[in-house]
Structure 1
Amino acid sequence: MSIGHITRLDDLAADWLARLESPECTAAEREAFEDWLAASPRHVEAYLEAERLHALAAMLAGDGMLRAAAREAHGGRRPAVSARRRSRWPGWTAAAAAVLVLAIGAATWLRPTGPATVTGYATAVGEQREIVLEDGTRMLLDTDTRVTTRYDDDLRVVELISGRARFEVGPDPDRPFLVRAAAGTVRDIGTTFQVSRRGDEINVGLIEGIVLVSHGDDGPGRRLAPGEQVQVDPRGRFTPTRALDLEVAKGWPRGELVFRKRRLDDLLVEMNRYSELPLRLADPELAGITVSGVFRVDEQAALIDALEQGWGLRAEARADGIFLRAPRG
C-alpha cells in the first residue's frame, strides 16, 4: 500500500468521524458509513485510529507545551482550535495539524512499550471457563476449547484453535481486538459476540454491537448487526447472513442447550461435546426426529430419560457409548 493511499484513507476516516458527530448527520449517511466500514478491515482500523487521535487531541488540549507549540506554528497568534467533540475535521488549519502531530508524538511517548504477551487457555470436555483478560475483556470458553491470546502495543488478538468462545470486549481505543479462526477474522467494534470452530469452518454470531467478519485480516468483509450470524468455510467463502436465535446463543453460557424443532442427531452432536461417553443412534432412521426443549449440558441422564419418556426410545449402555434404539414394535 502506498503512502499516498494511507494518507487518503486517514483523511476519509477523519471526514466520516466529523460527519457522524455533526447534528445534521442523516440516517442515510450513517448507513453509508456502515457500508464503508464493511468494505475493508483497513477502513475499521483507520476509523478507530481517527477516534483515538481525536480523543487524545481533546485530552491534551489543555497542555501548556502543546499550546505554545501551536502558537509558534501559527506565527505567535493563538490558533482557533476547539477540542469540542463537534469540531469539523476537514477544516483543520496548519496549526491544528501541528498540534495533532505533537499529540501523536506524546501518545507514542506515553504508551508503554514491551514484548507481546502470549498466553494459552484450554477447557476439558464438560468444562466451561471464564477468563478476564488484561484489558477487561471477558472471554467464556465452552467445553473442549483451546485459544491463544497475543497482546502487544498495537493489537489484541485471540486465536481460536478449536471449540467455541464468547467475548465481551473491553474498551481500548488504542488497540483493535481481533479473533482469528481458520480462514476468518472477526474485528470487534465494541460488542458482544461468539465464535465457534469445527475443523476449519467457523460460525460467528453477534449478540450486541458491531463486528466485521473477513477472510483473513485484509480480505473482503461481512458486517453483522445484532441478532445475525454468518459461516465462513475453509476457503474463506461466506454463507448468506441469517438470523441468530438469541435464546440459543445465550443458553450455552448458562450451561443449557436450547432446541426448537431441531433434529435429534443435531442435539446429540451438541450434547456429546460435554461428555466423555457419547450418545449414539443405533437406528439411523431416528436422526430426523424433531426435538424441542431446554437441556442441561451436564445432565446426560436427564436427556436420556426425556427421550425415553417423550419419544419411547430405548437406551443401551456399552463401553463405547450409550446407544439409542427405536421403540419395540
Structure 2
Amino acid sequence: MTENQSSPDSDNPDTISEQAMAWFVRLRAESVAVDERRLFQIWHQADPAHRQAYAEISAFWEDADFRATLDTATLSPQFSPRNNPPKNLRRRSGIRPDAKLLLAAAASLIIAAIVYQPALSCWRADYCTTVGEIKTVQLSDGSQVTLNSGTALNVNMRNGQRHVQLDRGEAFFDVQPDPQHPFQVDGRYSNTRVLGTRFVVREDADNDIISVVSGVVEVSRDRQNPATLKVNDSIAVDARHQSEVSHQPTGNATAWLKGSASFDNAPLKAVIAEIGRYRRGSLIIRNQALQDLKVSGRFDIRDTDKTLESLQQTLPIRIYRLTPWLVVIA
C-alpha cells in the first residue's frame, strides 16, 4: 500500500471494505514494518468511512459465534485457494492459524473477484457476461443466445458454418431453422448438433449438461455415438462418458431466464454453489451437517442477499457477512 490512497474509486463503499480487509490481514502478520503501520494510520485517519469499515471488520472477527464458526469452516471447492499460505501467516498469539488462512484467502478472493475474473471471462470471447449479468445476443443467422452469469462463448458463422464454442458458463439457444446448415455447440466435453430448436448447454466443474426445451438435438462426446434428445430430455457428458438420457420438465434448467433458481430437495451446498454463480466473492458453509440440509423452492438470483435471508428464515442456519465478498453460513 502507498501513502497516496486517492483514486477514482476511493469513496466507493466496496473499495473501502476491500482496503479495510487488506489492512486487517496485513496487520496480523508476524512481521509488520514501522512504515506499514504509519501508512495504516494515515489511511485510518483519512476518512471516517475508513475507520468505520475497519472497526466493523474487527468487531465482527471478535464475535464469539463467528470465531466458533471459523473453527470448522471450509471454503467451497470453487473458491479454495490452490497455493500454500505464506509463512508469515503462521500462528501468532490471539489469532488461530486457520483464522489467518481464512483472512488471507478472503483478501485474495476479493482481488480475484473484483479485478481478474471479469477480464478472464471475456478474454478472447466474442460474447461474454460478468458475474450477475444475463444478456441476449442475436447471431448473424437470426438465432438468439441468452448468456447466463459468468459466461463466455465464441461464434463462427463464416463460410456457411454455424458453430459456437461455449468456453465457460451456461447459455440458452433459440436456433433459427436451416436444414442445409446444422447448428453446432461445443462445450468442454460435449458436442451438440441441431437443425432448429431451443435448448440449454451448461458447463459445470465436472461435466456439461444439455437440456432440450423444444425440438430435437443430437449430443455426443468427441462426436461419437450421438444420443438423440427430445423435449424435456437432458443428458450429462464428462471427460469419460455420457450419461443415459433422462426425461423431466426443464423448468429448473431454464428458471434463470426468468431471474430465479429452482431446487427440489437439493443439498444446501448445491444451493449455495448455485447462488454463488450470481455474486462476487466467497460463500462459506460451516460443516458437513449444514452442507447436507435439504432445500426446496424457487429463489431470486437477481438479489442474492434476499435469497440468503430467505434461507436463514427457513433453515437452522445463521448468515454472517464479513465484507460484501465474504459470507459465512453457520
TM range (shorter): 0.5 to 0.7
Structure 1: where are the runs of 5+ without partners? 1-117
Q: Is structure 2 residue 292 aligned with structure 1 residue 291?
A: no
In structure 2, the partner of 1:267 is: 271
Provide the rounded CA distance (Å) in 2 between the counterparts of 1:165 and 1:288.
Answer: 28
Cα distance, 1:284 vs. partner?
2.3
In structure 1, the partner of 2:177 is: 171
Provide the rounded CA distance (Å) in 2 between the counterparts of 1:180 and 1:138.
Answer: 16
Q: Is structure 2 residue 249 aligned with structure 1 residue 232?
A: no
In structure 2, the partner of 1:141 is: 147
Q: Is structure 2 residue 308 aligned with structure 1 residue 304?
A: yes
Q: SS where residue 239 of structure 1 aligns?
A: coil
1:33-72 paired onto structure 2 within 5 Å? none
Alpha carbons 2:181, 2:195 under 8 Å: kept: no
Cα distance, 1:209 vs. partner?
0.3
State the Cα deviation string for residues 17-74 of structure 1 (Å, max 9, x = none): xxxxxxxxxxxxxxxxxxxxxxxxxxxxxxxxxxxxxxxxxxxxxxxxxxxxxxxxxx
- Matching residue's letter, 2:182: P
Q: SS where residue 220 of structure 1 aligns?
A: strand
Cα distance, 1:302 vs. partner?
1.4
Q: Is structure 2 residue 168 aligned with structure 1 residue 162?
A: yes
Q: TM-score if structure 2 supplies the norm length?
A: 0.60
In structure 2, the partner of 1:125 is: 131
Cα distance, 1:139 vs. partner?
0.2
Provide the rounded CA distance (Å) in 1 between the counterparts of 2:199 and 2:164.
Answer: 13
Structure 2: where are the runs of 5+ without partners? 1-123
Alpha carbons 2:212, 2:230 under 8 Å: kept: yes
Q: SS where residue 153 of structure 1 aligns?
A: helix
* Structure 1 moving runs of 4+ over 6 Å: none
Alpha carbons 2:128, 2:153 under 8 Å: kept: yes
Provide the rounded CA distance (Å) in 1 between the counterparts of 2:319 and 2:261.
Answer: 20
Alpha carbons 1:227, 1:244 under 8 Å: kept: yes
- Matching residue's letter, 2:299: F
1:104-119 paired onto structure 2 within 5 Å? none
- Matching residue's letter, 2:279: S
Provide the rounded CA distance (Å) in 2 between the counterparts of 1:240 and 1:214.
Answer: 11
State the Cα deviation string for residues 220-247 of structure 1 (Å, max 9, x = none): 1100111110011113x11111124322
What is the aligned counterpart of 1:323 among 321, 324, 328?
A: 328
Provide the rounded CA distance (Å) in 1 between the counterparts of 2:274 and 2:200.
Answer: 16
Calculate the aligned-residue CA RMSD, in Å.
1.7
Alpha carbons 2:129, 2:149 under 8 Å: kept: yes
- Matching residue's letter, 1:148: N
Asked which structure has the greater RCO (Cα within 8 Å, sep 6+), the reply is 2
Cα distance, 1:182 vs. partner?
2.0
- Matching residue's letter, 2:262: V
In structure 2, the partner of 1:254 is: 258
Provide the rounded CA distance (Å) in 2 between the counterparts of 1:253 and 1:278.
Answer: 24
Q: SS where residue 276 of structure 1 aligns?
A: coil
Provide the rounded CA distance (Å) in 2 between the counterparts of 1:258 and 1:302.
Answer: 15
Aligned residues: 206
What is the aligned counterpart of 1:281 among 285, 292, 295?
A: 285
Q: TM-score if structure 1 supplies the norm length?
A: 0.60
In structure 1, the partner of 2:59 is: none
1:191-202 paired onto structure 2 within 5 Å? 191-199=197-205, 201-202=207-208
State the Cα deviation string for residues 257-296 of structure 1 (Å, max 9, x = none): 0111111111001100000033221122101111111111
What is the aligned counterpart of 2:215 among 209, 213, 216?
A: 209
Provide the rounded CA distance (Å) in 2 between the counterparts of 1:291 and 1:119.
Answer: 35
